[in-house]
Amino acid sequence: MIKDIRAMFLTPVYVFSFPDHEKMKPIVMEYLEKDDVYNDYSGNHINLSAANLYKEQIFRPHYYFMYECIQYAMNDMGYTTNHSITSMWATRQSPGMYHHPHKHGNSFLAGTYYLNGSENTFGTTFFNPDNLLSISPNRNFEKPARLNARFSTPFVEGDFVVFPAWTLHGTNPNLGPETRYTIGVNSMPVGKTVDEPYDRFNYPDARRIDLEYTEEELSRYKQFAKGMV
């Protein structure tokens, strides 16, 4: 008789919801709809902005929200919560465009914020590199599939999806009439995480936002860390 079924090597994907999405969307979209945001960072299948959007004042609420979400994920996974967002960028996918499967180097956690889409817009697809299904038995659809080759999150405007940066992910071609806009971030831990003689795991603080803000504004976004999932 079976004793147990154990899930090995769990890869968590956290989904948060930004409460100020509807208010902030028109302001951010006005900025990101300009073609010159993407001129030097464009490809045939996707448009990318520079990765320094954290320096723009209009992205300040998103930055603080994302910071607290990642802090929540770090704590939930059993790590110390001291981290810094090292980059923040936008992606634009017109109809037919897609993002090829990729990983984020030199990062611990990554995140994607769903800014603009339609009911036909695809979310993010995560790929399991150890389950290529080169052997595919007939499926019994009355049972849950445990050996999945991919996992997809739906595109819900205002959702922020956080996941390990080494996870292979991408998007399907945009089949909707709306241009798909997202905001991506990378995050790294801060400080000495491993006590070893060569000091290889002492990560610097990469927070580089030179903006004035009040403590009241910062504390407002800190409250989102409680009960966001």
Residues 180-200 have pLDDT tens digits of 999 999 999 876 666 655 555
Count up the domains in the chain and report the number.
Answer: 1
Question: Does any domain span residue 6?
Answer: no
Strands 83-93 and 169-170: unpaired
Question: Does any domain span residue 26?
Answer: no
**Sequence-ordered strand ranges (E) for 55-175:** 83-93, 109-116, 125-127, 150-152, 159-164, 169-170
- Looking at residues 201-222, what average pLDDT do you find? 56
**Which range has the worst mean pLDDT, 12-16, 52-56, 125-129, 189-193?**
189-193
Question: Does any domain span residue 5?
Answer: no
pLDDT of residue 153: 95
- Long-range contacts of 139-145, Cβ-Cβ distance < 8 Å, separation of 24 or more: none
Answer yes or no: is pLDDT of 15 > 50: yes
DSSP label of 187: E
pLDDT of residue 116: 97
How far apart (Å, rounded) are the C-alpha atoms in residues 188 and 70? 10
Answer yes or no: is pLDDT of 228 > 50: no
How far apart (Å, rounded) are the C-alpha atoms in residues 225 and 212? 22
- With a CB cutoff of 8 Å and minimum separation 6, the contacts of 72 are 14, 16, 225, 228, 229
Question: Does any domain span residue 186?
Answer: yes
- SS3 category, 28: helix
pLDDT of residue 225: 47
- Looking at residues 19-34, what average pLDDT do you find? 96
pLDDT of residue 219: 61
Confidence category of residue 54, pLDDT binned at 50, 70, 90: confident
CA distances from 113 to 60, 74, 190, 205 (A): 14, 18, 23, 23
**Which range has the worst mean pLDDT, 36-50, 78-92, 95-109?**
36-50
Question: Does any domain span residue 96?
Answer: yes
**Residue 221 belongs to domain spanning:** 31-130+149-225
CA distances from 64 to 50, 105, 172 (A): 19, 23, 29
- Looking at residues 154-163, what average pLDDT do you find? 97
Answer yes or no: is pLDDT of 124 > 90: yes
- Looking at residues 25-43, what average pLDDT do you find? 86
How far apart (Å, rounded) are the C-alpha atoms in residues 67 and 198? 29
Question: Does any domain span residue 25?
Answer: no
Residue 62, token pair as written in the block:
């998103």
Q: What is the CATH number of the domain that holds 216?
A: 2.60.120.620
- The whole-model pTM stands at 0.84
Question: Does any domain span residue 160?
Answer: yes
Confidence category of residue 229, pLDDT binned at 50, 70, 90: very low
Question: Does any domain span residue 137?
Answer: no
Answer yes or no: is pLDDT of 90 > 50: yes
Answer yes or no: is pLDDT of 179 > 90: yes
CA distances from 84 to 60, 204, 229 (A): 14, 9, 21
